[in-house]
Structure 1
Amino acid sequence: MKKTSSHTILHSFLYGSTSVLFALDLFFLVRALVTGALFPVVPIFAGVCIAGGLLFILHAEGKSREYDRREHRSLSRVATQLEQPLQALEEDIEYLIKHADSLPAEVRLKLKRMNTKTRVLLENIRDVFLMFRAQEGVVAHDQKKYDACVLVEDAIARVKPLASARNVEIIRKAHCVDAPVKLDKGLFLIALTHILENGILYTITPGLVNIAIVRGKSFVRIIVQDRGIGVKQEDMHAIFDPFMRGKHANQYDPDGIGVGLTLSRLLIQEFNGKLNWHQRSESSGLEFEIRLPLAK
């Protein structure tokens, strides 16, 4: 079942209440004109104009959101259509690499680079597709009970090759033995991996990324700290905006497209969780905190 967003509920409430206000103002305006009581005409007419203006704004905003939804669906279809041929291309390249012993070393190196870039492109397309789906409704259809401590270990294992290549050490601190949470494992690992990769990529090397797990009475917190370049004041408001990247992002993450943190927050919200962040201090990195309810 598709869930109704809080924005949709608020929009419906405002539209309904403004329509009632407009109808009442119009009724009293007609009544004042018919009875000849002209004194209240001006304020009532002003109320009609204000209510009518609000209705127009809400209607235009609704149309704009509907257009955005259509654009999202179109882009989602494009992403899906791109994914299949790219996966076939990746499989072909992997096959060539396995049977490339007779090829010159330079050619084998280029094939490996092509394979890496194809995999990055596939992951970017997957993230865009998931982001649009999450913005439209529910994407987590396979939620089960898992141990958050074990999931963190799985995510660390995923990013270890990147951390090693970037000369970044991951330090894990666990303050819990068992922290059951209900979520979609695959989607949660995508979200946490993005947060960890973000810390690794933007940490000044050689560096450290700390990850801590703290279990409370009703929530478990997963805290990721990096020692990176931080976020400039003018970019702070847009950290979760899709396709938004900082001024120096290409220097640290040339393959990124600016959807990782957006997608992470959307997915974590699907598990009734929250993703918060703050800058630890000027130019000394960020701290992200995932807060998830414990499953009963």
Structure 2
Amino acid sequence: MRCHRQRRMVEATLPTTHVLNVDDVPGARYAKTRLLELAGFRVSEAGTGEEALVLARTLAPDLILLDTRLPDIDGFEVCRRLRADPDTATILILQTSAAHVLTGDRVRALNGGADNFLVEPVTQQELIASVRALARVAAVERSLREEDLRKNEFLATLAHELRSPLAPVLDAVELLRLEPHPAGSHQARAVAAVARQAGRLAGLVEDLMDVARLEQGKLGIDAVPVSARELVQRAAQCAAPALAAAGQAFDIDLPHPALRLAADMPRLLKVLAALLQNAAKFSDPGSRVMLRAAAFDGDLLVQVQDHGIGISAADSDRIFDLFTQAGHRAGRVKDGLGIGLSLARAVLALHGGEIAVYSKGAGQGSVFEVRLPLAASVAEAPPGLPVPMPDRRPLRALLVDDNADAVEMLGALLELKGIAVRTAGDGATALAALREEQPDIAILDIGLPDMSGHQLARLMRTATGDALPIVALSGDAVPDAADSQVFDRLLDKPVRIDALLAVMRALTGQYAR
């Protein structure tokens, strides 16, 4: 009968559940370990608090059965340290204590981070039931983490797969815009519409890439000294068309010209412009949007105020969560991915800043407030290098990509800028072209059919004595650690032609038309 009961326990228990049993009394520790193993759990043991902390980090168990009284560190302190360590903070903890435990100790244990508390002596059935209940919680949490990981991998893959075909589309649009079209003609309007929508799609793809970087802890900034006034002015210029299209009045108070901060200008521009565009989107036509910026308590304080639909108290608490949309107008189709404010908060945090929203409720408008630390004394950027004299010989570029459309469109744009372009669709062809053409610069796609862009770059450096500047184009959300060691520059797809030309000038000292 007893064996039958134990077998049912084994069948009902998840086989992957790993328990760390912490008790300084060998007999008690053995008894609990034996009972847990018979119930189908995998068990490791520790006899001291220090040993428990080490094993928790190295073994990463699903659950820790933690005795309160230990010879070196009491169980309360062990629990506190486990919760304070990011590597062990999510491990479930079942704390146990002797019968003479004080009533306040139970409260202390639970407030200190324990997930449950048992007073010994405890029956075998109660111990197994308590461990099994927490094991179910651990299994659910593990499943959620795995699902979250799959979601992040999917987002990164989706963004990568969208980037590659989007690059030649944007280049083709740029080529069409260079062709003369009668003003107001169907062709001119069609090209303008495609350019707007392709640009919008590029922005969405870039947001997806940033989400993937954010979820992997690899979202970064490139902070340089900037003028606070210029930042706010440029953000207002970016948002002005949306406000004008909605017929909304736009009031601006600019910060003092002397105020400066260390900032990633493109990222902060995107944050502030998005706040202004949201104000236009969620406000009635003809209403007023205000942008105010000034120094306050050592920070640059930026406020975006609208008189739109407002935000409820419930939405104010979750509006900065990923994939969350709030302030939705009844009967209106939602647009956007619900990631803009979440990314804004992350970007501002990387700058040492923060964002908050204030609203009296639905229909009462809202105020988004951004704080960024001002630079007490920010060194000016070093003077630039002397401007090189234009080379009379056309710049020669080797363009390598297995996407035929991407090669054709980007190559055509570069040729229109006065650059002599040689193209290749794989690594072997690129190496042959390198020997024949002796280009001034190489532009490589990282993913090639016969070898990786990293391998090709190393072979090119060997062939040229490390003299050839190499630019890589990548659709990956998170750069490889080896990228900076192999390439002179890494640019995200789809690359803007003006950004690529600027990099080519910086690396070669030659100017295109």
Measured in 2, the distance between the counterparts of 1:249 and 1:44 equals 56
Measured in 2, the distance between the counterparts of 1:156 and 1:50 equals 58
For residue 138 of structure 1, give the secondary structure of its aligned residue in structure 2.
coil
Matches within 5 A, 1:188-207: 188-207=268-287
The Cα of 1:249 is off from its aligned counterpart by: 7.8
Matches within 5 A, 1:1-296: 9=85, 12-15=88-91, 18=93, 21=95, 40-42=120-122, 46=126, 50=130, 53-54=133-134, 57-58=137-138, 60-99=140-179, 101=181, 105-174=185-254, 176-232=256-312, 235-246=315-326, 247-248=328-329, 251=332, 255-296=335-376
- Number of residue pairs matched by the alignment: 273
Change (3 A) 1:177 1:141: closer
Q: Which has the higher contact order (CA 8 A, sep 6+)?
A: 1
Measured in 1, the distance between the counterparts of 2:137 and 2:211 equals 27
Checking the alignment, whether the CA contact within 8 Å between 1:211 and 1:223 is kept in structure 2 is: yes
The Cα of 1:118 is off from its aligned counterpart by: 1.3
CA distances 1:237-270 after superposition (whole Å, capped 9, x unpaired):
442233333543884x865232221221121122
CA distances 1:82-116 after superposition (whole Å, capped 9, x unpaired):
12321321221232244253799334323322221
Measured in 2, the distance between the counterparts of 1:239 and 1:67 equals 23
CA distances 1:194-220 after superposition (whole Å, capped 9, x unpaired):
111111222211122111113123322
Task: Identify which range, 65-74 or 205-214, moves more after superposition.
Answer: 65-74
Measured in 1, the distance between the counterparts of 2:239 and 2:183 equals 31
Measured in 1, the distance between the counterparts of 2:183 and 2:279 equals 38
Measured in 2, the distance between the counterparts of 1:8 and 1:70 equals 27
TM-score by length of 1: 0.77
In structure 1, stretches of 5+ residues that fail to align are 1-6, 26-38
Checking the alignment, whether the CA contact within 8 Å between 2:152 and 2:212 is kept in structure 1 is: yes
Q: Percent identity?
A: 22
Checking the alignment, whether the CA contact within 8 Å between 1:181 and 1:294 is kept in structure 2 is: yes
The Cα of 1:162 is off from its aligned counterpart by: 2.0
For residue 12 of structure 1, give the secondary structure of its aligned residue in structure 2.
coil
Measured in 1, the distance between the counterparts of 2:259 and 2:325 equals 34
Letter in 1 for 2:163: E
Checking the alignment, whether the CA contact within 8 Å between 1:173 and 1:213 is kept in structure 2 is: yes
Determine which structure has the larger helix proportion and give its number.
1
Task: Identify which range, 57-66 or 222-231, moves more after superposition.
Answer: 57-66
In structure 2, stretches of 5+ residues that fail to align are 1-82, 99-118, 377-513
The Cα of 1:172 is off from its aligned counterpart by: 1.5
- Bigger radius of gyration among the two: 2
Task: Identify which range, 59-68 or 49-58, moves more after superposition.
Answer: 49-58
Change (3 A) 1:189 1:66: farther
Letter in 1 for 2:329: H
